[in-house]
Amino acid sequence: MTSVADSEFWEAHYQEGRTRWDLGQAAPPFVSLLDSPTAPLPDRMAVLGAGRGYDALLFAQRGFEVIGFDFAPSAIADATALAQNSGIPAQYLQRNIFDLPAEFPNYFDYVLEHTCFCAIDPSDRPAYVKLVKSLLKPQGELIALFWAHSKPGGPPFGTNIDEIREYFQSDFKITSLSLATNSIAERQGEEYLGRFQVESGTQ
Amino acid at 153: G
Q: CA–CA separation, 21 vs 154, rounded Å? A: 12
Kindly report, residue by residue over 65-99, the tens digit of the pLDDT.
Answer: 999 999 888 889 999 999 999 999 999 999 999 99
Kindly report, residue by residue over 132-191, the tens digit of the pLDDT.
Answer: 999 999 999 999 999 998 888 777 899 999 999 999 999 999 999 999 999 988 889 899
Kindly report, residue by residue over 95-147, the tens digit of the pLDDT.
Answer: 999 999 999 999 999 999 998 999 889 999 999 999 999 999 999 999 999 99
Instruction: Tell me which residue of 51, 56, 54, 100 sits closest to 77, measured CA to CA.
Output: 51
3-state SS of 22-71? CCCCCCHHHHHHHCCCCCCCCCEEEEECCCCCHHHHHHHHCCCEEEEEEC
- β-strand pairing of 44-48 with 191-198: unpaired
Cα distances (Å, whole numbers) of residue 188 to 28, 182, 198: 11, 7, 29
Kindly report, residue by residue over 7-63, the tens digit of the pLDDT.
Answer: 665 466 556 545 565 666 899 999 999 999 999 999 999 999 998 899 999 999 999
Q: How confident is the model at residue 1 (pLDDT cuts 50, 70, 90)?
A: very low
Which string of DSSP letters, residue by residue, matches 124-167? GHHHHHHHHHHHEEEEEEEEEEEE----SSTTTTP--HHHHHHH
Q: Structural domains in the chain?
A: 7-198 (3.40.50.150)
> Contact 163/137 with Cβ under 8 angstroms?
no
